[in-house]
A and B are shown apart, each in its own frame.
Chain A
Amino acid sequence: MRTKPRLCCLVCACAAMLLVLQVGRTAAEESDAEQLKNEIEALKRQMKLLEEKIQKQERLIDKLAAEKGAPQKPAEAAAPAAVAPAGTAPAGAATEAVAPPAPEGESQQDKLASEVTERVMRNIRPSLAGANKTFPSQFNPAIGLIVDTAASYKENERANFEFRSAELGVSASVDPFARGYAILNGTNDGFEVEEAAIVTTSLPWNLTVKGGRFFADFGRLSKFHDHDLPFVNRPIVLDEYVGGESQADGVEVSWLAPTSQYLTLTLGAYNKMGADNDRADNDTPRNLTDFTYLGRAATFLNLSDANSVDLGASWAYTPKIPSEGGLNRQLVGVDLTYRYLPLSEAQYRGLIWGTEVLYNRENRIPPADETASSPDQIVVPGLERGPAPQFVRTSALGMPQEQEDPASAEEPTFQRHGAWGLYSYVEARLSRRLYPGFLFDFAQDIDPGVGDTRAYSPYLTLWMSEFQRLRFQYTYLDAPMNHESEFFLQWTIVLGSHVHGFRDR
């Protein structure tokens, strides 16, 4: 019986407590809102003060800008002010033509200016220091990567996806006297240093010296990397006679004639020339007679603003090729490039006609019987027939030393042989994207008695942008023992640093 009133009392007490708490919370909320309101008011006041301050500073900056625009020497200021029509000076420029302030105001303004400058500088100095901070990595060379890939179908060899190369290029100044660059190339055959060279930049008398591994200055397209060629494959004559890219370990001196006519002369000495030239190697020391020597002259004829011709003549001479009985070799080339590039439409219209004719002269061993395949066969770029030359070994002086195989003691019959070949292509620019072209190849075999090779290659280059390119090419190959149609789809991209070099023009 007594539990009921006790329960009622408890309920009443709880309700009273809740009421008190609720009232307290409302009071607290009201007090918070009031505080917030006060803070907002304070902020508003601060903002207003800041606004006033900014406006004041802006007015001051305008004054100072006007003062800065006024020349230091009043006498000199008079002339420009006189030329400008009164009342027509624009906002940006007119401030510079405003007359200097009255002398009595100068000291006060100067004081004000120095105060403001000091304050502004104090504020921005940390940011300036941060912006100007240099890092050791800023000395890193410019880096670019070129990926070149292709899909091909050849009637006799069938289809393949060809990873042609991933080529890393780095370049930078060495010091005030030289610059350096390197092209590091990764292919299915491995990783190789395609070029790594030092080039002088400040020699007198228009001289430039290049040393290291680089593409020798022979002809025009021999100096282009594969992905830079205007078509998918290197012309046959360059592959067979030069050995692909004109890669060479050595030194080259080039001279620009100090005349109004562009004329350059180049002299070079190399271990060998040609990236795929296996007749000599870069590791074995040799006599001076075993190096390859080069001379080249190049000029340019500006027929009109839109029409021009590049002309060049190259001569590479190897006095003795040790692996081939110490025989000499001469390779001569003439290159001609005609360009039609209307100046106002150079990105969209144009035509290039490029031709190189090469003549190779050397004593060659006649090719062996087609059936006589043995490990003794020599490997010459583009050729895989002919007896091995090792029956004549040369001494360090290049003199015949011993007969390696007495069983085949008969002297090889060397035959003086000259061979020539050419490529000629024409390429049009129909728009910024579309570059159709046609390449014709012809090459006599550098061995006597082997047939000639011809190839006909229409192609179409589609530039997605300056850094991405698709190329379609059909080639009909007419070679001894090989007549086939070939189809190519090449896809090339450039990442990172990209320069328009004079060599690749």
Chain B
Amino acid sequence: MRRWTRWLPLLLVLLWSPGARAGAKIKVVATIPDLADLSRQVGGDLVEVQSIATGVEDIHAVPMKPSFAVLLNKADLVVLMGLEAEHAFLPGLLEAARNPKIMRDAPGYIDCSVLLTPLEVPTRIDRSLGDQHPMGNPHYNLDPVALKDAARAIADGFSRNYPEHEDVFRKNLDAYLAKLDAAIARWKQEAAPLRGKKLVSYHPDMIYFADRFGMQAVGTIEIRAGVDPTPSHIAELEDMMRRDHVDVVVRELHYPAGLAATVAQATGAKLVELPAMVGGVPEAKDCISLIDYNLQAMLKAVQGSA
């Protein structure tokens, strides 16, 4: 009896280990709610998805909480934006999570940018140009067509790890892409008034949205990506905005309100406050409602200024 009880703690550990629960749902951890939504759409009933970020954060400053390491420790798959978007928290958390299945470039590490053609790929890597992303601008979650690439990458990743469910993933993917296509068609018509309009955002994270809906992203309040502005930069920006008749100033909701409002007021541009992720505002419950929200807010501003 004594000998048996001596091994009890070890037995408990083995029973607790993640691989012990056969037949359970596939545990997916997504870095942001947008990817959690796509993962649910593709995985359907086969997956149980949790997101690290809630959606109100700046993706470059998600706090590295140890509780996320626990989440990742138990995960079968991790789904991420890639292009170093999660540089501030994911590498550290993966190190703490001790889960070889989802380490960088392991089969369970699903990078949603692999099928994407990134914008703003720098031709020169230099910190004097700000907090650069060497592989391109990572804020593609605001472009509905790029979301299709992300969904396909998720389906590929799920199928790679669970080939026995590939048919289900492909079927779910096709259904979701059709739904997204219908929405894209609607958005394209609705976005007609945005064509040719110019915007300035706080951070260079509106480029995919602008490109998709025919707008021009002509500047940022940050002097360089990730670097707070100086007074001389703001003066130059305002001069440029007046000269080029910039229509809209976008304040992503995780950036300070004051400066963006001041710039908009000084130049006569309309201020638009937009979430950068699903969950950034209560209305943005999933990827489709996020794009809906952003598009309507932008249209309201542009049509109001016309």
Contacts and interface: CB of A to CB of B under 8 A. Distances in A.
A109 to B, nearest CB: 23
A35 interface: no
A76 B74 CA distance: 35
B95 A205 contact: no
A347 B188 contact: no
B63 interface: yes
A300 B96 CA distance: 13
Nearest to B10: A205
A213 B57 CA distance: 37
A208 B103 CA distance: 14
8 contacts: A83-B181, A300-B67, A343-B54, A343-B57, A345-B254, A346-B254, A465-B226, A502-B96
Contacts of A500: 64, 87-89, 91-92
Given A262-B70, A302-B65, A93 B98 contact: no
A396 B63 CA distance: 50
Nearest to B188: A90
Given A93-B184, A344-B57, 19 more contacts: A76-B174, A79-B178, A80-B177, A88-B186, A90-B187, A93-B180, A201-B98, A207-B98, A258-B17, A258-B74, A262-B67, A346-B61, A431-B228, A465-B127, A465-B227, A499-B92, A500-B87, A501-B95, A502-B64
Contacts, number: 147
B180 A300 contact: no
B98 A206 contact: yes
A344 B257 CA distance: 12
A502 B69 contact: yes
B232 interface: no
A208 B98 contact: yes
Contact of B92 (A207, A343, A431, A501): A501
Contacts of B63: 308, 339, 341, 343, 346
Contacts of A97: 178, 181
Interface string A79-101: 11101110011111110110000
A256 interface: yes
Interface of A is mostly: loop
Interface string B180-199: 11101111110000000000
Contacts of B178: 79-81, 83-84, 97
Contacts of B60: 347
B136 to A, nearest CB: 15
B73 interface: yes
A202 interface: yes
A108 interface: no
B56 A343 contact: yes
Pairs of residues from A and B, 9 with the lowest C-beta to C-beta distance, nearest first: A80-B178, A88-B185, A300-B66, A90-B188, A344-B56, A202-B100, A502-B92, A262-B66, A502-B96
A340 to B, nearest CB: 11
A93 B185 contact: yes
Contacts of B239: none
Nearest to A467: B127
Contact of B145 (A83, A88, A92, A343): A92
B168 interface: no
A262 B301 CA distance: 46
Contacts of A88: 182, 185-186, 189
A94 B73 CA distance: 40
A85 B131 CA distance: 42
B151 interface: no
Nearest to A339: B63
Contact of A432 (B64, B127, B180, B228): B228
